[in-house]
Structure 1
Amino acid sequence: MSPDRAVLERALERGEQEGGSVEFKERLTRDLHLADGRLESLAAQLRHRVLSGDGEATYVVGVTDDGGLAGIPPAEFSESMDVLSLLAEEAGAHIEDVQTWGVPGRDGGADRGIVGVATVREGAMLDVDDQHIVVGTAGHVDHGKSTLVGSLVTGQPDDGEGGTRGFLDVQPHEVERGLSADLSYGVYGFDEDGPVHTLNPHRKQDRARVVEEADRLVSFVDTVGHEPWLRTTIRGLVGQKLDYGLLVVAADDGPTKTTREHLGILLATDLPTIVAITKADMVEEERLLEVEREVERLLRNADRTPLRIERHGVDTAIEEISEQVVPIVTTSAVTMEGLDVLDQLFERLPKTADGAGAFSMYIDRTYSVTGVGAVASGTIRSGTVAAGDELLVGPMADGGFREVEVRSIEMHYHRVDEARAGRIVGIALKGVREADLQRGMVLLPRDADPSAVWEFEAEVMVLNHPTRIGEGYEPVVHVETVSEAAAVYPEEGHLLPGDTGRARVRFKFRPYHVEAGQRFVFREGQSKGVGTITKVLPGD
């Protein structure tokens, strides 16, 4: 019996008892259980169960009154969770976690439905303020990026073998079982007493605790250090609404070709960036000084001003960090050198992403969760979204947009009633199948008038190319979470390395919703460039 199944078995074994914290329900429906006084009585019952369990109750849905496994269809289970959420809200509580299992049919046939265990906890759903920054990490493979972030979010030193790196692995079963919004691979926060660490990031309840307790949150968005996966790195840095970049450079290796690639992407997207020199414990002082000078030269060659925090202080770094000034800090995850400096920075750096305007979110990942349905996750680009909101999603393959409803929202495994710009969230959608959703689609308010765009005009700059870019050149274009092959048609017929000019860009396989002013990166092989959309063009 798996540990997950044990949760169900324990609840069934405890059973419904007078004065107990377990409640059995076969199903909950809006028409029956929210009608004429039923809501108040059921909310009172839920409150009684929560108090009996010292602030936590267990609701088993899909079972008979005596605990028999009845199983109900996924749509009915989903409705039951909606009703239970309303009952919890009425009782001053919230659903913290839901786990589901199939109920096998007779004689080993197809499942006849599902049964689920919902953990209901005292207290309203989380209301997060605006003190939440999102940091995109970058750097060459084996330069200690994941280890550094692992030590930051846990507050624990590394064992010298990359042990804290393991805290940041995303577990496949977490994606399959929950409304995972875990685009970021690490989260920690701060309260009036200092850092609030994620003691065991493998436990989603622990991440949820950090989100609940911290006055300020810091999320780290994963990127990949291997050169062959530069596309994935671009998606992490361009496709999320980041506030800052964190570039790591190992003291024993120094800046590499990949380091320069990642720095170029960070700077091309005008993202304020911090450079952390890692593995300071592994080299002599002379080598450390040499790498520091290499990093400073690298930044100056990119027309940026390096600022050594060791020399100028944290206050100056916070005041000066910008698109032009790049603070540098020396660190070691083993000795914890420099991590207090990063803590001070992340606790005090202001949020930079402007989230004003109507709600919009580009989809980065999609999931299908049993009993819940389609889940779209990404970083909210602007505005706010709340459970029950009616939205549009698209464009679909035919260029149209579909009406959907927000069923629920989760952030770092914690269910929230509302989320704002800059939040990394998973949004459960009613009215669409997961199979119909794709990365690069956008969620917008229902009253928006979005368009599906095949072509746009842009100002582009060629960062690197072996010869020249001519008519019909086909790179991959990365804008928001869109990663799509496109044809480029320079206004002057061609562009050389270092050139800046106007061009027309056409998506090759399907349209997307893009807008004037959005920045993008394009690449193909060793060729790279950046651009800004100046005008979207009508037609197909």
Structure 2
Amino acid sequence: MSRDRALLQRALDRGEEDGGNVEFKERLSRNVHLAEGRRESLAAQLRHRVLSGDGEATYVVGVTDDGGLAGISHEAFSESMDVLSLLAEEAGAHIDDVQTWGVDREAGVSRNGAGDDGLVGVATVCDGAVLETDDEHIVIGTAGHVDHGKSTLVGSLVTGRADDGDGGTRAFLDVKPHEVERGLSADLSYAVYGFDDDGPVHVRNPNRKEDRAAVVEDADRLVSFVDTVGHEPWLRTTIRGLVGQKLDYGLLVVEAEDGPTRVTREHLGVLLATELPTIVAITKTDAVDPARVAEVEREVERLLRDVEKSPLSVSRHGVDAAVEEVSDTVVPIVQTSAVTMEGLDVLDELFDRLPKTADDDGEFRMYVDRSYSVTGVGAVASGTIKSGEVEAGDELLVGPMPDGRFREVEVRSIEMHYHRVDHARSGRIVGIALKGIKESALERGMVLLPADADPDPVREFEAEVMVLNHPTRIGDGYEPVVHLETIGEAAAFHPDDGRLLPGDTGTTRVRFKFRPYLVEEGQKFVFREGRSKGVGTVTDVSPVE
């Protein structure tokens, strides 16, 4: 019997008892179980079950009163979880975890999520309301050359543990088997830690969602990392991480042995093109002598001055100066080692004290970065909220679809670093479960908006661009990939003067090759094709015809 199957069997074996914490329900429906009088009664029953279980109750849904496997449809199970969530909220509790199994009435319970006749599920309901997210929360995007210790540094920061010298703490962020095997990150990873009055609140094991959720719940101030990709073939993923998220700060790593490389310069260019306040961490200082560390710091200072930025050595000027001066023009430099933990206390103090960049209090907006499907919940859109706030139950629009239209959806629930929240606001990295759309219809680059919004998706827009690198000239019809928010789409350039040379700044018309997107004036973007790279700002948009 599998471990997951054993969870269901234990709940069925315990059964319903007057003084127990297990409750059987075949299904819960809005019309019946949320009706006047019934809602209060069921919330009181739930509260009793939670108290009987010392703060935790188990609801088995899709079974008869005597524990027989009935199985209900995916739609009925989703509605049951919605109702259970509302009952839990009224009882001062929240749903902490849901596991489901498919039911074949002839064969019994089959593998997780399979079965011909429906679903049966176990919901764990815990005491305490869902997390409020009004505390300060900064989001940091990391960048740097492959093997320069970026993921290892973040792993040591969030766990508070020294690395073993072989990148052991990196394993907390490399989420795919081939990444762990090769020691390379191939997609964006996310990590979180926080602070309270006693200092850092670390994650015991970032790979356990319960441990990450505990930090979100316990910390007074949160720091989320969007850990990007250092290997050159995946530069487009790094650009997506830095351009497509609502970041407060950038963290650029430079290895003490290698010093700045061409990839370092490219990543720095993307960070600065987005006008993101950035900190440079010189890593692996334990592997070289102090003279080499000082030499690399001077190289970094020269690199920053070359792009008209002012370096600020924290070892010389102190943390107070770094906190006060960091901006899109002043770049603090910190010497670090994940093995000896040198400099990590400095980064901790910086991240604890750095001000949150101004929140955008406008209407809710979130560009979709990832989508996935959760059995019993449905389609989930993940991304960073760019502006405004969202609550469970809100009606939204999502799109544009390939034909330019938007779909109406409803927010089932919201999660932040595996902790369910009742609302979230600008700057939060969240997963939003949506009712009214299948996961297969969601695509990266789509946007979530309020239901009363009147969006005009575009195929074409005008932009002011600067060519950072190009072997010859950019002529009419040049087709790079444009990275704007989470959009990554081939587009044709039509420069006003017919061409743009390396180092040129000029105006061009940009037309997406395949489909429309929601684009607005003032948005920054990066474009690349091979070794050709540049940055731009949207200056004018035209609704699709």
TM over 0.5: yes
Matched, 1:284 2:289: yes
Matched, 1:308 2:313: yes
Q: Distance in 2 between matches of 1:82 and 1:383?
A: 24
Q: Distance in 2 between matches of 1:378 and 1:60?
A: 31
| 1:140-539 correspondence runs (5 A) | 140-170=145-175, 184-539=189-544
SS of the counterpart of 1:169? coil
* 1:379 CA drift (Å): 0.3
| TM-score, normalization by structure 2 | 0.95
SS of the counterpart of 1:249? strand
Tell me if the contact between 1:358 and 1:383 (Cα under 8 Å) persists in the aligned partners.
yes
1:446-474 deviations in Å (ceiling 9; x for gaps): 11110110000011100110111110110
Q: Aligned letter for 1:300?
A: R
Structure 1 residues 431, 183: CA separation in 2 closer, same or farther (over 3 Å shift)?
Answer: farther
Tell me if the contact between 1:198 and 1:207 (Cα under 8 Å) persists in the aligned partners.
yes
Q: Distance in 1 between matches of 2:253 and 2:6?
A: 42
Q: Distance in 1 between matches of 2:2 and 2:256?
A: 44
Tell me if the contact between 1:241 and 1:353 (Cα under 8 Å) persists in the aligned partners.
no
Q: Distance in 2 between matches of 1:7 and 1:260?
A: 51
SS of the counterpart of 2:351? helix
SS of the counterpart of 1:106? coil
SS of the counterpart of 2:104? coil
Tell me if the contact between 2:189 and 2:228 (Cα under 8 Å) persists in the aligned partners.
no
Tell me if the contact between 1:184 and 1:219 (Cα under 8 Å) persists in the aligned partners.
no
| TM-score, normalization by structure 1 | 0.96
* 1:232 CA drift (Å): 0.4
| 1:96-115 correspondence runs (5 A) | 96-106=96-106, 110-115=115-120
Q: Distance in 1 between matches of 2:524 and 2:7?
A: 47
* 1:298 CA drift (Å): 1.1
Tell me if the contact between 2:188 and 2:229 (Cα under 8 Å) persists in the aligned partners.
no
SS of the counterpart of 2:213? helix
Tell me which residue corresponds to 2:27.
27
Tell me if the contact between 1:470 and 1:493 (Cα under 8 Å) persists in the aligned partners.
yes
Q: Distance in 2 between matches of 1:237 and 1:493?
A: 30
Tell me which residue corresponds to 2:9.
9
Tell me which residue corresponds to 1:49.
49
Q: Aligned letter for 2:70?
A: A
Q: Aligned letter for 1:262?
A: H
SS of the counterpart of 1:47? helix
Q: Aligned letter for 2:68?
A: G
Which deviates the most, 527-536 or 121-130? Answer: 121-130
Q: Aligned letter for 1:419?
A: A
Q: Aligned letter for 2:518?
A: H
Q: Distance in 1 between matches of 2:53 and 2:106?
A: 35
| 1:33-72 correspondence runs (5 A) | 33-72=33-72
* 1:21 CA drift (Å): 1.2
1:169-203 deviations in Å (ceiling 9; x for gaps): 3369xxxxxxxxx9652100011111111111111
Tell me which residue corresponds to 2:182.
none
Tell me which residue corresponds to 2:183.
none
Pairing partner for 2:128 from 123, 134, 140 = 123
Tell me if the contact between 2:458 and 2:516 (Cα under 8 Å) persists in the aligned partners.
yes
Instruction: State the 4+ residue runs in structure 1 displaced beyond 4 angstroms.
Output: 107-110
SS of the counterpart of 1:124? coil
Tell me which residue corresponds to 1:177.
none
* 1:41 CA drift (Å): 1.2
Tell me if the contact between 2:69 and 2:105 (Cα under 8 Å) persists in the aligned partners.
no
Q: Distance in 2 between matches of 1:247 and 1:391?
A: 36
* 1:356 CA drift (Å): 1.7
Count of paired positions: 531
Tell me if the contact between 2:256 and 2:283 (Cα under 8 Å) persists in the aligned partners.
yes
Q: Distance in 2 between matches of 1:490 and 1:28?
A: 59
SS of the counterpart of 1:83? helix
Tell me which residue corresponds to 1:178.
none
Structure 1: gaps of 5 or more residues: 173-181
Tell me if the contact between 1:170 and 1:185 (Cα under 8 Å) persists in the aligned partners.
no
1:85-121 deviations in Å (ceiling 9; x for gaps): 1111111111111111212342589521111111111
Which deviates the most, 301-310 or 285-294? Answer: 285-294
Tell me if the contact between 1:183 and 1:424 (Cα under 8 Å) persists in the aligned partners.
no
Tell me if the contact between 2:188 and 2:237 (Cα under 8 Å) persists in the aligned partners.
no
Structure 1 residues 44, 171: CA separation in 2 closer, same or farther (over 3 Å shift)?
Answer: farther
Fraction of identical pairs, as percent: 78
RMSD: 1.4
1:308-350 deviations in Å (ceiling 9; x for gaps): 0000000100111011110000000011000000000000111
Q: Aligned letter for 1:331?
A: T
